[in-house]
């Protein structure tokens, strides 16, 4: 896993983010190939305990495991990388903490933030729709997805924000070939089936086109 983290990232399509592990195994069976543990307000010992379990599950299914916002804990737990937001430390500082062999991702919400993030291994683009997981963050809309499709170049990027089985088609039509999801899997009665449906929608569009 260590040697090919960036190669795996390049082919990843379905990225699941959650503060909980209850839907993780089903999501992985259904085709999620990245998982980010996002426990913003939890104690370090709770994050580390959940991260140990999540890392083991992800690696058993051949998926990458990332930790939100904490490069120090990501390195300590053997995560495959870390994700940092616009209000977190810069990508360069996160990379210095976790090492060049791990993945560092960055949230972006507007074209100027995308342009300012060439040193990230991937970027998240959104929120496409307003979502309670990002309270107070206005929707960036499909226009930002179209902008990323035209301007991100070879940098992997994932559309994020309110994407579900009903809206994924519009996001793909706008040029996204990779998505981040949260609630649609957190709240799914059958996370495996839901993940398979999302993957099917993504897989209808080749990753090499508008990726």
Question: Where in the sequence numbering do the catalytic residues fall?
Answer: 38, 107, 134
List, as one string, the DSSP characters of 81-99.
EEEE-TTS--HHHHHHHH-
Extract the tokens encoding 175: 């040029």
- Fill in the DSSP letter of residue 3: G
| 42 three-class SS | coil
Hey, which residues does 37 pair with through a beta bridge?
18, 67
d(CA 140, CA 80): 28
Extract the tokens encoding 196: 């398979």
* Residues 6 or more apart whose Cβ sits within 8 Å of residue 185: 16, 18, 23, 26, 27, 32, 191, 194, 195
Report the phi/psi class of residue 175: left, alpha or beta, with left for phi > 0 and alpha for psi in -120 to 50. Answer: left
């Amino acid at each position: 896993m260590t040697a090919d983290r960036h190669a795996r990232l390049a082919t990843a399509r379905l990225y699941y983010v959650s503060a909980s592990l209850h839907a993780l195994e089903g999501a992985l069976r259904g085709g999620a190939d990245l998982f980010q543990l996002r426990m913003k307000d939890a104690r370090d010992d709770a994050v580390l305990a959940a991260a140990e379990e999540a890392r083991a599950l992800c690696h058993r299914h051949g998926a990458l495991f990332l930790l939100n916002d904490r490069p120090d804990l990501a390195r300590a737990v053997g995560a495959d990388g870390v994700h940092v937001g616009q209000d977190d430390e810069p990508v360069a500082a996160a990379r210095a903490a976790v090492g060049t062999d791990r993945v560092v991702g960055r949230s972006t919400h507007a074209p100027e933030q995308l342009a300012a993030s060439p040193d990230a291994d991937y970027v998240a683009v959104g929120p496409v729709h307003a979502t309670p997981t990002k309270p107070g963050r206005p929707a960036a809309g499909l226009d930002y997805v179209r902008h990323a499709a035209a301007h991100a170049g070879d940098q992997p990027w994932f559309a994020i924000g309110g994407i579900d089985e009903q809206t994924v088609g519009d996001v793909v039509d706008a040029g996204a070939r990779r998505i981040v999801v949260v609630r649609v899997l957190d709240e799914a009665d059958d996370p495996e089936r839901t993940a398979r449906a999302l993957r099917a929608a993504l897989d209808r569009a080749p990753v090499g086109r508008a990726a």
